[in-house]
Amino acid sequence: MVRQVAVAPDPQPLDPTVGYPKGRARRREILRIASEYFAENGYDAATIFAIAAACGISRAGLLRYFPDKEALLEGVLRYRDEEDRARFAPYASVPGGLGILRAMVDLAEHNEHSPGLISLFVRLSAEASSAEHPAHFYFSERLRRIRSGTERTLESAARAGYLRDGVDPAATAVQLTALMDGLQAQWLLDPALDMAGHMRRAILEILNTRGAAAFDAVETTG
């Protein structure tokens, strides 16, 4: 059984072992290059040696920051999660869940500028479907977290009277999550695809007239 990568729900922004500014900058640079390397070659085929070479440092130098490949993967995933959390946080206070729905469109738009990271996540998520993969637990938990967060958002929109009749929060949460993932997979093959436009369209389809007007208001002020 391969060790599973565990990503803490509230990771510390600073790793105490590399607390000096220069070490933190180097660590961040390694994570950026490792992200790109995993995106291009997949996780399974990547080696610490090859990633160290891509970073222009020795294998031993890389291992001072990340003791093994699993730790490096954990660092990459945590880095991405921190960025996403920072993106959603300002929207959480918008009532009726509309801020979070708006943030989903923003995220799709942001992702259109990050092909490497999207490729990494689509590819790693597929690799990690095997229970033996070190990121299996991470991706399973991430899916559950995103789906249940989306469901709570839609329940909040329902209570505010923003949803069309017959829209079921639980089923719609699964479908919006699948749509986002599927659009990313399509976009990797067809970069002309308007991911943000399709997310916006799908969200407007579940809102009633009042919800759509309120959603557009978030859009212009958010």
Q: What number of helices (H) and strands (E) belong to the chain? A: 10, 0
CB of 3 to a second copy, least distance (A): 19
Q: Which tokens in the block code for residue 221?
A: 């002020």
Segment 90 to 149, residues that bind a second copy, using CB under 8 A: 119, 122-123, 125-130, 136, 139-140, 143-144
Q: What are the respective helix, strand and coil percentages of the chain, to the nearest 5? A: 75, 0, 25
Q: Using CB under 8 A, which of 180, 203, 207, 214 touches a second copy?
A: 180
Which of these ranges, 23-31, 58-66, 190-198, 214-222, lies near a second copy under the rule CB under 8 A? 190-198
Q: For residue 163, which of 176, 153, 175, 177 has the smallest C-alpha distance?
A: 153
Q: Using CB under 8 A, which of 69, 78, 80, 198 touches a second copy?
A: 198
CA distance 32 to 78: 12
Q: Which tokens in the block code for residue 8?
A: 């803490």
Residues 6+ apart with CB under 8 A from 8: 78
How many residues make contact with a second copy (CB under 8 A)?
A: 39
Q: Using CB under 8 A, which of 2, 67, 186, 213 touches a second copy?
A: 186
Handedness of CA 177, 30, 128, 50 (dihedral sign): positive
Q: Using CB under 8 A, which of 53, 63, 160, 193 touches a second copy?
A: 193
Q: Which is nearer to a second copy, 102 or 123 (CB)?
A: 123
CB of 60 to a second copy, least distance (A): 26
Q: Using CB under 8 A, which of 25, 182, 210, 213 touches a second copy?
A: 182
CA distance 60 to 170: 48
CA distance 131 to 2: 9
Binding mask 12-41 for a second copy (x = CB under 8 A): ----------------------------xx
Site residues, a second copy (CB under 8 A): 40-42, 44-45, 119, 122-123, 125-130, 136, 139-140, 143-144, 171, 174-175, 177-183, 185-186, 188-190, 193, 198, 201-202, 205
